[in-house]
Amino acid sequence: MEILIGWVALCFAVAAWAHSKGRFAFGWFIISLMLSPLVGGVIVAALPKVGKAALPRDEAGQPITDQTHVRCPDCRELVRRDARKCKHCNTALVPQ
Ligand SMILES: [Zn+2]
Over residues 37-59, the mean pLDDT reads 80
Q: Ligand 1 centre and the CA of 57: distance in Å?
A: 18
What is the pLDDT at residue 1?
83
Number of domains in the chain: 2
Question: Could you tell me the residue range of the domain that residue 10 belongs to?
Answer: 2-53
Same domain flag for 48 and 87: no
Same domain flag for 77 and 96: yes
Same domain flag for 70 and 33: no
Same domain flag for 48 and 10: yes
Q: Ligand 1 centre and the CA of 50: distance in Å?
A: 29
What is the pLDDT at residue 32?
93
Same domain flag for 6 and 44: yes
Q: Ligand 1 centre and the CA of 80: distance in Å?
A: 11
Q: pTM (2 decimals)? A: 0.51
Query: In degrees, to the nearest 5, what angle opens at C-alpha 59 toward C-alphas 86 and 21?
Result: 120
Q: Ligand 1 centre and the CA of 77: distance in Å?
A: 6
